[in-house]
Amino acid sequence: MTQVNSCVALWQEKLSRLRQNLSRVIRGKPECVEAVITALLAGGSVLIEDVPGVGKTTLAKALARSLDATFNRIQFTPDLLPADILGSSVYNPVDGSFTFRRGPIFCHILLADEINRASPRTQSALLEAMSERQATIEGHRYSLPELFLVLATENPIEFHGTYPLPEAQLDRFLLLLNIGYPAAEVEKEIFYLQARQHPLELIEPVLKVEEVLEMQQQVRQVRVEESVAGYIVSIVNATRRDARLRLGVSPRGSLMLFRAAQSLAFLAGRDYVLPDDVQYMAPFVLAHRIVLTSQARYSGTASQEIIKEILKEVKVPT
């Protein structure tokens, strides 16, 4: 028992250091920091949507720098092609052979910056990688690292030069985050923090790949009582019956919520999931998986508000 407790204490210490790293660069947004760490422990990818300049890319870079892992960044543009992400065969005129040159997708942490500025065809190049940790290129299947995480940023679709992400692509992201503007006092604090040096430059790795993978295995062992699992199913079924929604949450979405709740419990130092964990993670995990009807969309209804209303209506297990 002492050995188990010491192991838990070690993980909590390392996660605390990771939390400190991310909080250095994203000031006054503890909920965003917790959500990103939760996604890392659950092994899921994160989509960060907000206006330019609020720290989307900085948050992704801070997580990558906090891990002793390979990191690549792709700046999505309208002329980006799938081969620019996955890689392609290069012809050698000397001997007439072809050599496969791997694209930037072959890494542990991939930053897909402004993902919705590329065409839907290019966006879809990430689908197989995000769901199966592999890529099929020119008829050959290539495995990706066991730890593979996509951190994607996007601008609101109302912005010039953006394409909406397909529903199938959105469904692959574990979480959707909106960072939002900082509070006035926090924004003033940022001025002085970056007067001489950007906090991002001070970040040192605090976790190794092997440690993250071990924690991910521990997360899968977190107990979920049958009543709590039934609570997740009830929430998901409520989205499928809601008259304001054209498309409810998929089975993949309910599984993602299950794993996110396990991850949040582990992050809190517990080996069991509470209904509170499900309630806290539901807006992050489910809001981007539902499709509103035209009437609901034009009336100004927000996806997250619908999820929060459903949470109030569904009976909580005791």
pLDDT of residue 60: 83
Q: Per-residue pLDDT tens for 71-91?
A: 899 999 989 999 999 998 887
Calpha distance 84→79 (Å, rounded): 10
Query: Phi and psi at residue 108, in whole multiples of 5°?
Result: -85, -45
pLDDT tens column, 94-128:
787 878 889 999 999 999 988 888 888 888 888 88
Q: Which residue has the higher pLDDT, 29 or 254?
A: 254
Considering just the CA atoms, what is the radius of gyration of the chain in Å?
A: 20
Identify the band that residue 4 occupies on the pLDDT scale cut at 50, 70 and 90.
Answer: very low
Give Cα separations from 211 to 17, 134, 139 (angstroms): 14, 22, 34
Whether the CB-CB separation of 120 and 102 falls below 8 Å is answered with no
Question: Contact at 8 Å (CB) between 154 and 165?
Answer: yes
Average pLDDT, the chain: 88
Residue 144 φ/ψ region, left for φ over 0, alpha for ψ in the -120 to 50 degree band, beta for the rest: beta
H or E segment to which residue 39 belongs? helix 30-42
Going from the N-terminus, what domains does the chain have, and what CATH number goes with each? Answer: 15-208 (3.40.50.300), 221-318 (1.10.8.80)
CA distance 133 to 128: 7
Predicted pLDDT of residue 189: 81
Q: What is the pTM of this model?
A: 0.88
pLDDT recorded at residue 208: 92
* Burial status of residue 94 (CB atoms within 10 A of its CB: 0-12, 13-18, 19 or more): exposed
Round to whole Å and give the CA distance between 226 and 224: 6
Measure the CA–CA gap between 16 and 59, rounded to whole angstroms.
16
Give tens-digit pLDDT for 227-272.
Answer: 999 999 999 999 999 999 999 999 999 999 999 999 999 999 999 9
Report the pLDDT averaged over residues 16-21.
92
DSSP 8-state symbol, 200: G
